[in-house]
Amino acid sequence: MAKQLFPNEKIIITKYFDVHQDWDVSIPGFFIIASKTGKVSLDEFNNEEADEFFSLVRKLRRGMREVLRIETVCFFQDEGTHHLFHLWIFPRYEWMNKFGEKIESIRPIINYAKENMANEKVLSEVKEMVKQMRDYMKPDSKS
């Protein structure tokens, strides 16, 4: 198992989902929405789970744009892994352009981040973005 850099960087935990920074990759704003109910696929969600999921995705993405100034993201979900349902929300930064813009660029970007970005400056930025999104995602937030 990879070293977990951010095991405590939670944004919000709801009845059905846990939203947090990717534990292993030091890319600020690389968030995961994970099911807490043992589901693997979207089609397994009941109506209440589906409503909560879409509401979370929408609010998180809006916060990423408005608060974190992340203009472009890539959403991906893979039912072929051994994980329960996870939606990865991967931010696209200008420095990533050298790896390409298609989905195939994600793995090289992640590898680069693991090898080159686990430093105090980036770790601090990750924690600050999580804090900002935690504040934004609070249930009483007017967002």
Q: Residue 101's domain is classified under what CATH number?
A: 3.30.428.10
How much is the pLDDT for 1?
A: 39
Please report whether residue 37 resides in a domain.
yes
Please report whether residue 1 resides in a domain.
no
Distance CA 111, CA 137 (A): 29
pLDDT in tens, 92-143: 999 999 999 888 999 999 999 999 998 899 999 999 999 999 999 997 765 5
Instruction: Report how many helices (DSSP H) and strands (DSSP E) the chain contains, helices first.
Output: 3, 5
How much is the pLDDT for 135?
A: 96
Average pLDDT over residues 47-76: 96
Look up the pTM and report it.
Answer: 0.89
Please report whether residue 86 resides in a domain.
yes
Please report whether residue 31 resides in a domain.
yes
The tally of domains found in the chain comes to 1
Please report whether residue 39 resides in a domain.
yes
Pair of tokens at residue 104: 């195939």
Burial of 61 (0-12, 13-18, 19+ CB in 10 A): middle
How much is the pLDDT for 82?
A: 72
Please report whether residue 84 resides in a domain.
yes
How much is the pLDDT for 88?
A: 95
Q: Are 30 and 117 in contact (CB under 8 A)?
A: no
Residue 92's domain spans which residues?
10-137
Pair of tokens at residue 142: 């007017």
Please report whether residue 4 resides in a domain.
no
pLDDT in tens, 6-31: 666 899 999 999 999 988 888 999 99
Please report whether residue 38 resides in a domain.
yes
